[in-house]
Structure 1
Amino acid sequence: MIDRITHVTLSSVTLPLKTAISDAKVLTGRQRPMTEVAFLFAEIRTADGHEGVGFGYSKRAGGPAQFAHAREIAPELIGEDPNDIARLWTKLAWAGASVGRSGAATQAIAALDVALWDLKAKRAGLPLAKLLGAHRDAVRCYDTSGGFLHEPVEQIVANAGASRAAGIGGIKIKVGHPSPAVDLARVRTVREHLGDDFPLMVDANQQWDRPTAQRVCRALEEFGLVWIEEPLDAYDAAGHAALARSLDTAIASGEMLTSVAEHRELIRQDAVDVLQPDAPRIGGITQFLRLAALAEQQHLTLAPHFAMEIHVHLAAAYPHEPWVEHFDWLHPLFNERLEIRNGRLHLSTRPGLGITLSEQARRWTINRAEIKE
């Protein structure tokens, strides 16, 4: 007998950050320092007793909108066969068609979609990467959380040293300071500390115009960076393409885009060497797999943004050697930890995503909805 979905629980969880976070968007006055992250968790149960958990998130604004939209469309899943994930994604998208297929609408679908994939892998008794077909059991990882602009360079150096000692394989620091000279001095200091051979990346968070990006990126070439991330507005595919053609250093972007179609434009214009999709932002695992197929055809490096608990599985299933971004911010939300060793995140043998919600996550829940037969 075919199984069916009987119960969906949605939880809006606010994760407080230990320190207010600032990048170039804050220094240019476009955003305020980030003090918390809003998460949408979806827990799906079936008549046969199978369960799956998924999540999406929003930084600064958007969390309540994701929760509200998910609560409206989740009843569409009740009574459905949880195996039919692609069909269910389309059904959920049509349920909210009037608000589009990007942004908060598809980000709400993402939490449900991830939960369905987690459920499917658990039912198979496999880690999600193995269900998808893994190319590797460990993925290169780099650390971002210790390289923000609100920290003095001495602290960033200390953070980088601690991350390397903990087994991290690369370090990314933020740039985009109002004075490019400050950026260059900070990058030089970190590069000298790490040595010439250790992977180092920088991220400007979209804060340069085209002339500034050209000038600063050219100056950054001497540091042997793995990539320069978001030197321009995320939607300026033509500008990124021109920059990529003019530099030896790889250009990376994609984290702020919220659909496969938007990423397709980056790929079409050869705008990036490193594609950085975020599964919760583009609609979940179903959409990520569509995008990964496009990226593979262009032989792009894949470096998914944030949410390593999801992305380690998706990166492990990508044919070309990828990177995964390591953040320890989400640790309080889950009972499990990913193992870091020799510069890589290692897949666990636990089925599904391999995560369960912690009691702390339950305590940080600010809204909850249950949909059932």
Structure 2
Amino acid sequence: MKIKDVRVSVHRFENFVPLINKPIEDDYRIICEIETDDGHVGIGMASRFLWHGVAASVAKHLGPAVIDMDPRDLEKIHARLQPLISERGSMTGINLAALSCIDLALWDIIGKASGRSVAQLLGGAKDYADVYVTYGFAAYDIDHLIEAGRRLVAEGHTRLKMLVGSKLGVLEDARRVRAVREALGDDILLAIDANESIGLEDAARLCPLIEDYNIAWFEDPLRRVDARDLGMLRKRTTIPLSAGQMDGHALRFREWVEHDAIDIFMPNSMYNGGMTETRRVAHLSQIYNKPLSDAGGGGVWCLHHVAGFRNGTLAEIHVGTEQVEAQMFVDPPKAVNGRVAIPQAPGFGVTLNKERLKETLVEV
């Protein structure tokens, strides 16, 4: 089996904040399709950032380099691509997003060729992933937060995440978190996410104001999730800290571990170099007895690592990503009572909606 063609395209999808119908920022996706000489087609993807640059990197640099290689030879392929991604050191951003596109498509091919899901290839711990829902946007006022949360609970969800660190300030963030907890009750798992938006002192001010409200984790609490500052924050709060959605390659997680800065590993295979890198992160999480979760709108691509590894805990449903995948795929997996079953089809188990993708195509 040899790689014969690598195709890449950019697509723009619209999505909206539920309840108030306010547009979320347009969601751009870079879709990579790799085709083999025996007819297998694998799908890979990156998302949102510098989409033209990512697509050009795949089309002009990484794609041509893997032609005529066996897609199952992951280490050999990564050895060839590494000098193209970074001559020295470990890069992030466009470099790893482009690699993610290629690598995810390879895993999809390997799964399809073997008749197994990616979750099974990773270890097959479960055939499902329990999920949490990211819903608590800054665009909501407190009444909206409560109403949207109640609607999700009525749909069978018991794990919710809301955003903090907005321009509203620490005291207002705390007031919003307390209001949601009091309205939805103690039986709901409630997490918060600052999207790397605040400094150490503000995060340290926020945590004591909400520690008594049983917060499941505080995700990406600090700007650049600096390992030293994150370690300092962890010593000042009882709320578990998580990170890894944007630059979560193995070296970054090692740095957080060495600074005793992290409780929950949250890699995203669309940004960190793909499922091969996520597998390395997962093994590191097992070595250090840390739970393995997911964040950053990874959708179906991250569902599999949560199900595949025995320390996998929760996959994310982001209400924006959910809308995008409903347009992108023919029949994307959906949550039932807070749980998503791994698709029964091999690989990642999804089929692109080619007609819809014609409408969303962006000229590159």
Please say whether Structure 1 and Structure 2 have the same fold, judged by a TM-score greater than 0.5: yes
SS of structure 2 residue aligned to 1:329: helix
SS of structure 2 residue aligned to 1:278: coil
Find the partner of 1:312 among 303, 306, 309.
303
Partners of 1:168 and 1:361 in 2: CA distance: 30
State which drifts further: 113-122 or 334-343.
334-343
Runs of 4 or more above 6 Å deviation: none
Matched ranges for 1:133-148 at <5 A: 133-144=123-134, 146-148=135-137
Find the partner of 2:357 among 342, 361, 365.
361
Q: What's the offset of the Cα at 1:10?
A: 0.9
Q: Provide the residue aligned with 2:313 in structure 1.
A: 322
Q: Does 1:86 align with 2:75?
A: yes
Matched ranges for 1:184-195 at <5 A: 184-195=174-185
Partners of 1:329 and 1:263 in 2: CA distance: 30
Q: What's the offset of the Cα at 1:34?
A: 5.6
- The residue type paired with residue 323 of structure 1 is L
- The residue type paired with residue 309 of structure 1 is V
Matched ranges for 1:8-23 at <5 A: 8-18=6-16
Partners of 1:208 and 1:103 in 2: CA distance: 21
In 1, are the aligned partners of 2:122 and 2:279 still within 8 Å (CA)?
A: no
Q: Considering only aligned residues, what root-mean-square deviation do their CA atoms show, in Å? A: 1.9
Q: Provide the residue aligned with 2:156 in structure 1.
A: 167
In 2, are the aligned partners of 1:93 and 1:101 still within 8 Å (CA)?
A: no
Q: Which runs of 5+ in 1 are unaligned?
A: 21-32, 369-373
CA offsets, 1:71-126, max 9 Å, x none?
A: 11201111111111222122122233348632101210111110010011011111
Q: Provide the residue aligned with 2:59 in structure 1.
A: 71
- The residue type paired with residue 169 of structure 1 is T
Partners of 2:350 and 2:359 in 1: CA distance: 17
Count of residue correspondences: 351
Q: Does 1:104 align with 2:94?
A: yes
In 1, are the aligned partners of 2:249 and 2:281 still within 8 Å (CA)?
A: no
Q: What's the offset of the Cα at 1:131?
A: 2.0
Partners of 1:94 and 1:273 in 2: CA distance: 33
Q: Which runs of 5+ in 2 are unaligned?
A: none
Q: Provide the residue aligned with 1:332 in structure 2.
A: 327
- The residue type paired with residue 312 of structure 1 is L
In 1, are the aligned partners of 2:16 and 2:24 still within 8 Å (CA)?
A: no
SS of structure 2 residue aligned to 1:279: coil
Q: What's the offset of the Cα at 1:352?
A: 0.9
Partners of 1:148 and 1:175 in 2: CA distance: 8
Q: Provide the residue aligned with 2:286 in structure 1.
A: 296
State which drifts further: 179-188 or 275-284.
179-188
In 2, are the aligned partners of 1:41 and 1:55 still within 8 Å (CA)?
A: yes
- The residue type paired with residue 361 of structure 2 is T
Partners of 2:223 and 2:290 in 1: CA distance: 20
Partners of 2:271 and 2:75 in 1: CA distance: 17
SS of structure 2 residue aligned to 1:52: strand
Partners of 1:209 and 1:79 in 2: CA distance: 48
Q: What's the offset of the Cα at 1:321?
A: 4.1
